[in-house]
Amino acid sequence: MRLILVGFGTVGRGAAEGLIAAAAELADAGCSPVVAAIVDPLVGSVYRQEGLDLARLLALADAGAPLTDHPGAEPAPLMPDILDLVEADVVVELTPTNLVDGEPGISHARQALSAGRHLITTNKGPIALAWRELRELAAGNGVQLRFEGTVMSGTPVLSLCESGLAGAGIRSVRGIVNGTCNYILCEMEAGTGYREALHAAQQAGYAEADPSGDVDGWDAAAKALILANCVLGADLALHDVARAGISSLDAEDIQVAARAGEVWRLVARVDRTASGWTAGVAPERVGNADPLAAVRGPGNLLVFDTEALGEVVIGGPGAGRRATGHAVVADLLAIHAGRGRRR
Residues near its own copies, by CB under 8 A: 18, 21-22, 25-26, 28-29, 148, 154-160, 162-169, 289, 291, 294, 296, 301, 307-317, 322-323, 325-326, 329-330, 333-334, 337-339, 341-342
Minimal distance in Å, beta carbon 32 to its own copies? Answer: 13
Distance CA 61, CA 8 (A): 8
Cβ(291)–Cβ(301) under 8 Å? yes
Active-site position among 223, 243, 269, 285: 223
Q: Is 259 exposed, middle or buried (0-12, 13-18, 19+ CB in 10 A)?
A: exposed
Minimal distance in Å, beta carbon 213 to its own copies? Answer: 23
Collapsed DSSP state (helix, strand, coil) of residue 119: strand
b or e along 57-73 (b: 16 or more beta carbons within 10 Å of the residue's beta carbon)? bbebbeeeeebeebeeb
* Catalytic (active site) residue 124: no
Identity of the residue, 193 or 317, whose beta carbon is nearer to its own copies in the bound complex: 317
Minimal distance in Å, beta carbon 144 to its own copies? Answer: 13
Cβ(6)–Cβ(95) under 8 Å? yes
Q: Which amino acid is at 328?
A: V
Cβ(213)–Cβ(206) under 8 Å? no
Cβ(268)–Cβ(226) under 8 Å? no
Identity of the residue, 18 or 217, whose beta carbon is nearer to its own copies in the bound complex: 18
Minimal distance in Å, beta carbon 33 to its own copies? Answer: 11
Identity of the residue, 17 or 93, whose beta carbon is nearer to its own copies in the bound complex: 17
Identity of the residue, 78 or 313, whose beta carbon is nearer to its own copies in the bound complex: 313
Could you list the active site residues? 223
